[in-house]
Amino acid sequence: MIEHRLIERMIARIKKEGKRIESGGAVDPQFIDVGTDFIHNYADLCHHGKEEEILFRDLKKRELTKEHKEKMDELIKEHVWARQTTGKLVKAKDAYVGGDKKAVDTIIRCMAELADFYPKHIIKEDKHFFKPVMSYFTQNELDAMLDEEYEFDKNYIHQMYTQIVEKWEKKGL
């Protein structure tokens, strides 16, 4: 849940920036790049990645209550929505940088949607899902998942930067 606290801090910045733009301030493409990079890499690939590839994977092997199964499916759909909305924000920023001033409306809308979504999503996970589903596991299983999450984090940074280098290599740079 410590990851949620950092996500909340960045989302607060995104909300503040979106309101500044909505009030007539200029779009800051660099801020959007940093914010969407954070959401994409930290909130989605790293944080949601561990949820989906470790916790949800192991929960799917259990006989969950109907409520827990529905909540997990809902969380997965929300992760997809967040990815799509972040992608729309990147496209709108790119359009704006390319001269499309109408893209400002999409930028404002996407920033507001993400700022509205993440706090609710985090509350749902923290208070209504993570704690209750821990009862499906023994302490040894929980410890093993935690070890796997540490390994995921340790390897993630290497995978991320390998992809960056490979992208530039493909461009011939």
Tens digits of residue pLDDT in 17-54: 999 999 999 999 999 999 999 999 999 999 999 999 99
- What are the pLDDT digits (tens) for 76-86? 999 999 999 99
Average pLDDT of the residues of the chain: 94
pLDDT of residue 157: 79
Domain count, the chain: 1
Q: Which residue in 126, 51, 59, 127 sits closest to 82, CA to CA?
A: 51
Supply the pTM of this predicted model: 0.88
The answer, yes or no, to whether residue 1 has pLDDT greater than 80, is no
Domain range spanning residue 61?
A: 2-170
- What are the pLDDT digits (tens) for 121-152? 999 999 999 999 999 999 999 999 999 999 99
CATH for 96: 1.20.120.520
DSSP 3-state percent helix, strand, coil across the chain (nearest 5): 85, 0, 15
